[in-house]
Amino acid sequence: AHGRSIKSVYVYEAPVRIWHWINALAITVLALTGYFIGSPLPTQPGEASANYLMGYIRFAHFAAGYILAVGLLGRTYWAVVGNHHARELYWVPLLTKAYWVEVLGMLKWYAFISPRPGRYVGHNPLARFAMFFGYLLLTVFMICTGFALYGEGAQMGSWQERLFGWVIPLFGQSQDVHTWHHLGMWALIVFIIVHVYAAIREDIMGRSSIVSTMISGHRTFKD
């Protein structure tokens, strides 16, 4: 939505903001622990009970995975009951010409071709596209592949295996799921780098607040 003469508007409700920062922490833990699960530390001599570091790393990974999954369910619920800005993550008006015109305008802004971006209260059109395809769908993919791998350890009959066991034969074998799960994490890291860069850039060069909005909930405009 466009804002014409607005100086400050309440955009992100408390549940959205809390979810955002908990989600960011969960993804950070998942990325760090996932890296060590994929590239384990050297083995150490002695009893396993005295050298349980990898066990703690795996536990942290699993716990953060549950937080990510439950958080996404909660975020989906709030998209239904929250304000209209809370729903922007879940749909993109791909079939409207006006949307693509605005996406092109934002691409020109980020490429330093256009001297001035559009003025948006919620996510700008390009951000909506990136959040839907670069975050939401990718996160669903990571949750499905992650719980499919977890289901192998939880064994046959576990709820993880019953709900996500279909993922492994879909990809061919367990190792293929491992590989795609690993690649998905790197894709998510790339998205986060671009996301953080764009947010800071908009705060400095754009027409409205970005980072502080996800803290206070209020979008303030410079013009």
Residue 64 belongs to a domain: yes
Residue 5 pLDDT: 54
Residue 153 belongs to a domain: yes
Degrees to nearest 5, angle at CA 182 with 177 and 187: 120
Q: Give the contacts of 205 (CB within 8 A, at least 6 positions apart).
A: none
**Whether the Cβ atoms of residue 213 and residue 3 lie closer than 8 Å to each other:** no
- Tens of pLDDT, residue by residue over 13-55, are 999 999 999 999 999 999 999 999 998 888 777 776 677 888 9
Whether the predicted pLDDT of 3 surpasses 80: no
- Total number of domains constituting the chain: 1
List Cα–Cα distances, 70 to 67, 99, 143, 185, in angstroms: 5, 31, 10, 18
When comparing pLDDT for 90 and 203, which is higher? 90
Lowest mean per-residue pLDDT among 47-51, 104-108, 157-161: 47-51
**Whether the Cβ atoms of residue 160 and residue 217 lie closer than 8 Å to each other:** no
Q: Say which CATH number the domain at 70 has.
A: 1.20.950.20
Residue 108 pLDDT: 95
- Cα 52 from chain centre: 30
**Whether the Cβ atoms of residue 181 and residue 149 lie closer than 8 Å to each other:** yes
Residue 1 belongs to a domain: no
Residue 2 belongs to a domain: no
Whether the predicted pLDDT of 87 surpasses 60: yes
Residue 3 belongs to a domain: no
Residue 43 pLDDT: 76
Q: Count Cβ neighbours within 10 Å for each residue of 17-39 and write b for 16 or more, e otherwise.
A: bebeeebeebbebbbebbeebee
Degrees to nearest 5, angle at CA 55 with 50 and 57: 120
Residue numbers of the domain that contains 210 = 8-220
